[in-house]
Amino acid sequence: MDILPFCHKKCQNSKGALSRVGHTTVAVVLGVIFVLGFLGNFVALLVFSRYSVLRTPVNLLLINISASDLFVCIFGTPMSFAASVRGRWLTGNYGCRWYGFSNALFGIVSLVSLSLLSFERYSAVLHSIPLDSSQFGRARLAVAASWVYSLAWTLPPLLGWSSYGPEGTGTTCSVQWHQRSPESRSYVSCLFIFCLLLPLLLMVFCYGRILLVVRTVTKQTSAERRESRVLLMVVSMVTGYLVCWLPYGVVALLISFGRPGALPPVASLVPALLAKTSTVLNPVIYVLLNKQVTVNHLLKDDNYTYQGLTSTLAKKSITDRSTAAHISADGPTNHHPHPHPPPSSWLIVHGGRGNRTTRGKPRQTHMQIPHRKAPPSGD
């Protein structure tokens, strides 16, 4: 069955249904969300897997969020994109149930991970939990808990407590918000309380306490400045996520408990699209606010590729310093120790990245001697 019975009766013939231009516009928006969300989250996961310096307990939760957003782009967005291109749902009842279940599963994983991330920051700042193997264990347990918790709330509609079906104009699927039975309303109420409201309250509590501590600090050390940057990044992620999902939650409650027909199908389309943009925001916040993911900081993890070169040049540096002292005492000669400019790899080790590992030490003397031509002879 290509068109679900409910959608055929209510979506296709509704006077609030989209025109051909409307469906095309939605398809373009979904296409942009898919491309940006897929590329952004894929690159984020690639960076996290490539650089070991980024594999911290906090970033394990960020990896979990990025993975769930990537799954939304892979398993959900292409189906709604194809439906918008054709103006109708294409994969039948089973495809609609899978779409509703998978999008709800991955969305709740992201929201729960954000709330657990706030609790991890709260524990680290207020209780000074040291960075050790046990903290990595807690982070892995938090990742597993986010998936179990999400499954506990997204499986019931497949088992009879409410159900998944078409929503809005019939090109997306979700929980059947329009159903008015006591079972459906109780599920919508529990979903709103335990999967949106409680995580939000936990975030507000944890970040509120952290902000109070930060404000009492009169002089920030470098560690506290780093903590402030992490806090800014996570709060931005939470704010962006709630801006994307809160309108969708409010519309779902209005459809479930409001006056029947008060919201036309098209009215739920914008919140649904806004919810999907959350898959684009998180990778952007990683790049803009997480200083660990900037190029200069990632380069620190590449120092191991220059360790062999550094040890080789260390021996050469002893000879260079004695030669430089000789030049400084006797003046320049035709026998310059470096008849050619130093290789670029040398500059990387001693004048570029290498400074990060020897910060606070003076530059090597031989790096400050310009290459000058020998003075003309008296002849």
Distance of CA 335 to the CA centre of its chain: 56
The domain total for the chain is 2
Q: Assess whether 124 and 174 both reside in one domain.
A: yes
The rounded distance, in Å, linking the Cα atoms of 280 and 297 is 23
> Of all residues in the chain, what percent are helix, strand and coil, respectively (each to 5)?
75, 0, 25
Domain that holds residue 357: 302-367
For the CA atoms of 39, 41, 43, 48, what is the dihedral angle to 10 degrees? Answer: -170
Does pLDDT of 118 surpass 70?
yes
Is residue 281 a part of any domain in this protein? yes
Left, alpha or beta for 264 (phi > 0: left; psi -120 to 50: alpha)? beta
The rounded distance, in Å, linking the Cα atoms of 136 and 57 is 5
155-205 pLDDT per residue, tens = 999 999 999 999 888 899 999 988 888 999 999 999 999 998 898 889 888
**293, 316, 337: which is the final residue of a domain?**
293
Q: Assess whether 25 and 123 both reside in one domain.
A: yes
The rounded distance, in Å, linking the Cα atoms of 212 and 298 is 31
Helical ranges in 76-181 per DSSP H: 77-86, 92-127, 133-154, 156-159
Q: Assess whether 279 and 181 both reside in one domain.
A: yes
**247, 265, 293: which is the final residue of a domain?**
293
252-305 pLDDT per residue, tens = 888 888 888 778 877 788 888 888 898 998 788 766 666 555 554 455 544 433
Helix, strand or coil, per DSSP, at residue 167: strand
The rounded distance, in Å, linking the Cα atoms of 357 and 353 is 8
Is residue 336 a part of any domain in this protein? yes
Q: Assess whether 267 and 287 both reside in one domain.
A: yes
Among the listed residues 85, 24, 246, 271, the one whose alpha carbon sits nearest the alpha carbon of residue 167: 271
Q: Assess whether 353 and 229 both reside in one domain.
A: no
Is residue 354 a part of any domain in this protein? yes
Residue 240 makes CB contacts below 8 A (sequence gap 6+) with 278, 281, 282, 285
213-255 pLDDT per residue, tens = 776 764 556 666 666 776 777 678 778 877 888 888 888 888 8
Q: Assess whether 280 and 337 both reside in one domain.
A: no
Q: What is the pTM of this model?
A: 0.72
In a 10 Å sphere around its CB, with 0-12 CB exposed, 13-18 middle and 19+ buried, how is residue 11 labelled?
buried
Mean pLDDT of all residues in 317-344: 44
Is residue 220 a part of any domain in this protein? yes
Q: Assess whether 327 and 221 both reside in one domain.
A: no
Q: Assess whether 176 and 240 both reside in one domain.
A: yes
Q: Are 249 and 145 in contact (CB under 8 A)?
A: no
| φ, ψ at 4 (rounded to 5°) | -65, 145
Q: Give pLDDT, residue 128.
A: 66
For position 105, which CATH number holds?
1.20.1070.10
83-104 pLDDT per residue, tens = 999 999 999 999 999 999 999 9
C-alpha pair distances (Å), 166 with each of 77, 175, 369: 15, 8, 73
Q: Are 358 and 303 in contact (CB under 8 A)?
A: no
Q: Are 91 and 173 in contact (CB under 8 A)?
A: no
Q: Are 152 and 190 in contact (CB under 8 A)?
A: no
The rounded distance, in Å, linking the Cα atoms of 93 and 214 is 52
Lowest mean pLDDT among 115-119, 123-127, 240-244, 349-353: 349-353
**293, 326, 355: which is the final residue of a domain?**
293
Is residue 136 a part of any domain in this protein? yes
47-60 pLDDT per residue, tens = 888 888 887 888 89
Is residue 146 a part of any domain in this protein? yes
- Mean pLDDT score across all residues of the chain: 74
